[in-house]
Amino acid sequence: MAGSLNKVLLIGRLGADPEIKQMVNGKSVARLSLATSQSWKDKTTGEKKEKTEWHRIVVFNDGLVNVVQQYLKKGAQIYVEGQITTRKWKDEQSGQDKYSTEIVIQGYNSSLTMLGGGNTGGGGIQNDNTQAPANNFEDSPQASNDMDDEIPF
Protein backbone atom coordinates (compact mmCIF):
# COMPACT_ATOMS: atom_id res chain seq x y z
CA MET A 1 0.00 0.00 0.00
CA ALA A 2 1.35 3.40 -0.99
CA GLY A 3 -0.15 5.23 1.98
CA SER A 4 -2.99 5.33 4.42
CA LEU A 5 -5.73 7.68 5.53
CA ASN A 6 -7.30 8.21 8.95
CA LYS A 7 -10.21 10.59 8.41
CA VAL A 8 -13.66 10.64 10.00
CA LEU A 9 -16.57 12.78 8.80
CA LEU A 10 -19.66 13.01 11.01
CA ILE A 11 -22.87 15.04 11.07
CA GLY A 12 -24.90 14.78 14.24
CA ARG A 13 -26.33 16.46 17.30
CA LEU A 14 -24.71 17.04 20.68
CA GLY A 15 -26.18 14.80 23.38
CA ALA A 16 -24.94 17.04 26.20
CA ASP A 17 -23.35 20.42 26.76
CA PRO A 18 -19.62 20.39 25.92
CA GLU A 19 -17.23 19.57 28.76
CA ILE A 20 -14.21 21.90 28.98
CA LYS A 21 -11.18 20.74 30.97
CA GLN A 22 -7.71 22.12 31.67
CA MET A 23 -4.77 19.87 30.83
CA VAL A 24 -1.59 19.69 32.93
CA ASN A 25 0.21 21.99 30.45
CA GLY A 26 -2.46 24.69 31.02
CA LYS A 27 -4.19 24.31 27.64
CA SER A 28 -7.91 23.64 27.37
CA VAL A 29 -9.56 20.61 25.82
CA ALA A 30 -13.24 20.21 24.88
CA ARG A 31 -15.08 16.91 24.98
CA LEU A 32 -18.29 16.43 23.04
CA SER A 33 -20.80 13.60 22.88
CA LEU A 34 -22.16 13.41 19.31
CA ALA A 35 -25.15 11.33 18.23
CA THR A 36 -25.59 10.16 14.66
CA SER A 37 -28.88 8.46 13.77
CA GLN A 38 -30.30 6.59 10.87
CA SER A 39 -33.91 5.61 10.41
CA TRP A 40 -35.69 3.24 8.07
CA LYS A 41 -39.00 1.52 7.61
CA ASP A 42 -39.06 -2.22 8.34
CA LYS A 43 -40.13 -3.98 5.12
CA THR A 44 -42.05 -6.75 6.88
CA THR A 45 -43.90 -4.78 9.58
CA GLY A 46 -43.90 -1.27 8.06
CA GLU A 47 -42.72 0.00 11.44
CA LYS A 48 -40.30 2.93 11.56
CA LYS A 49 -36.96 1.89 13.10
CA GLU A 50 -34.09 4.05 14.27
CA LYS A 51 -30.51 3.37 15.32
CA THR A 52 -28.32 5.92 17.11
CA GLU A 53 -24.54 5.73 17.45
CA TRP A 54 -22.67 7.82 20.01
CA HIS A 55 -19.23 9.28 19.28
CA ARG A 56 -16.70 10.90 21.62
CA ILE A 57 -15.22 14.03 20.08
CA VAL A 58 -12.11 15.63 21.60
CA VAL A 59 -11.02 19.15 20.54
CA PHE A 60 -7.45 20.23 21.34
CA ASN A 61 -7.15 23.44 19.29
CA ASP A 62 -7.43 26.46 21.65
CA GLY A 63 -9.38 28.58 19.16
CA LEU A 64 -11.92 25.82 18.56
CA VAL A 65 -12.20 25.08 22.28
CA ASN A 66 -13.20 28.73 22.82
CA VAL A 67 -15.81 28.51 20.04
CA VAL A 68 -17.17 25.24 21.42
CA GLN A 69 -17.40 26.72 24.91
CA GLN A 70 -19.10 29.89 23.73
CA TYR A 71 -21.53 28.66 21.06
CA LEU A 72 -22.27 24.93 21.34
CA LYS A 73 -24.96 23.50 23.61
CA LYS A 74 -26.88 20.25 23.88
CA GLY A 75 -28.94 19.63 20.72
CA ALA A 76 -26.67 21.67 18.43
CA GLN A 77 -26.10 20.12 15.01
CA ILE A 78 -22.46 20.02 13.90
CA TYR A 79 -20.25 18.65 11.15
CA VAL A 80 -16.90 17.24 12.31
CA GLU A 81 -13.77 16.21 10.41
CA GLY A 82 -11.08 14.53 12.45
CA GLN A 83 -9.03 11.41 13.07
CA ILE A 84 -10.10 8.30 14.96
CA THR A 85 -7.79 7.31 17.80
CA THR A 86 -7.87 4.67 20.50
CA ARG A 87 -6.37 5.69 23.80
CA LYS A 88 -5.24 3.29 26.54
CA TRP A 89 -5.59 4.29 30.18
CA LYS A 90 -5.58 2.63 33.60
CA ASP A 91 -8.69 2.56 35.76
CA GLU A 92 -7.65 3.95 39.17
CA GLN A 93 -10.16 1.86 41.11
CA SER A 94 -9.66 -1.55 39.51
CA GLY A 95 -6.15 -1.10 38.11
CA GLN A 96 -7.30 -2.59 34.80
CA ASP A 97 -6.31 -1.25 31.40
CA LYS A 98 -9.20 0.52 29.65
CA TYR A 99 -9.53 1.75 26.07
CA SER A 100 -11.40 4.75 24.66
CA THR A 101 -12.03 5.35 20.98
CA GLU A 102 -12.37 9.04 20.12
CA ILE A 103 -12.55 11.39 17.16
CA VAL A 104 -9.73 13.91 17.64
CA ILE A 105 -9.93 17.43 16.20
CA GLN A 106 -6.37 18.71 16.11
CA GLY A 107 -4.05 20.02 13.44
CA TYR A 108 -4.76 21.20 9.91
CA ASN A 109 -6.73 18.18 8.68
CA SER A 110 -9.56 18.75 11.15
CA SER A 111 -12.57 21.04 11.31
CA LEU A 112 -15.81 21.66 13.17
CA THR A 113 -18.75 23.37 11.48
CA MET A 114 -21.92 24.54 13.23
CA LEU A 115 -24.84 23.60 10.99
CA GLY A 116 -27.65 25.36 12.81
CA GLY A 117 -30.59 23.95 14.69
CA GLY A 118 -30.41 23.35 18.41
CA ASN A 119 -28.85 26.43 19.99
CA THR A 120 -26.45 27.38 17.21
CA GLY A 121 -26.80 30.07 14.59
CA GLY A 122 -25.01 28.30 11.75
CA GLY A 123 -21.60 29.04 10.36
CA GLY A 124 -18.40 27.15 10.69
CA ILE A 125 -15.01 27.32 12.25
CA GLN A 126 -12.05 25.55 10.73
CA ASN A 127 -8.95 24.61 12.68
CA ASP A 128 -7.06 27.56 11.21
CA ASN A 129 -9.72 29.78 12.86
CA THR A 130 -11.28 30.98 9.59
CA GLN A 131 -15.03 31.36 9.38
CA ALA A 132 -16.97 29.39 6.76
CA PRO A 133 -20.24 30.70 5.25
CA ALA A 134 -23.33 30.20 7.40
CA ASN A 135 -26.21 28.01 6.26
CA ASN A 136 -29.09 30.00 7.68
CA PHE A 137 -31.92 28.07 6.02
CA GLU A 138 -32.26 26.06 9.24
CA ASP A 139 -32.79 29.13 11.42
CA SER A 140 -36.58 28.97 11.17
CA PRO A 141 -38.24 27.77 14.39
CA GLN A 142 -39.90 24.84 12.61
CA ALA A 143 -36.65 23.51 11.11
CA SER A 144 -34.55 23.95 14.24
CA ASN A 145 -36.95 21.85 16.33
CA ASP A 146 -37.43 19.13 13.71
CA MET A 147 -35.51 16.05 14.87
CA ASP A 148 -37.30 13.75 12.38
CA ASP A 149 -35.40 14.74 9.27
CA GLU A 150 -35.30 11.93 6.73
CA ILE A 151 -31.63 12.33 5.81
CA PRO A 152 -29.99 8.92 5.45
CA PHE A 153 -26.39 8.94 6.72
* Mean of pLDDT values over 114-120: 66
pTM, rounded to two decimals: 0.70
pLDDT on residue 107:
85
* Mean of pLDDT values over 56-63: 92
Residue extents of the structural domains in the chain: 8-38+48-114
* Mean of pLDDT values over 139-148: 40
123 pLDDT higher than 90: no
Q: Which CATH class is domain 8-38+48-114?
A: mainly beta
6 pLDDT higher than 60: yes
What is the rounded CA–CA span in Å between residue 46 and residue 52? 19
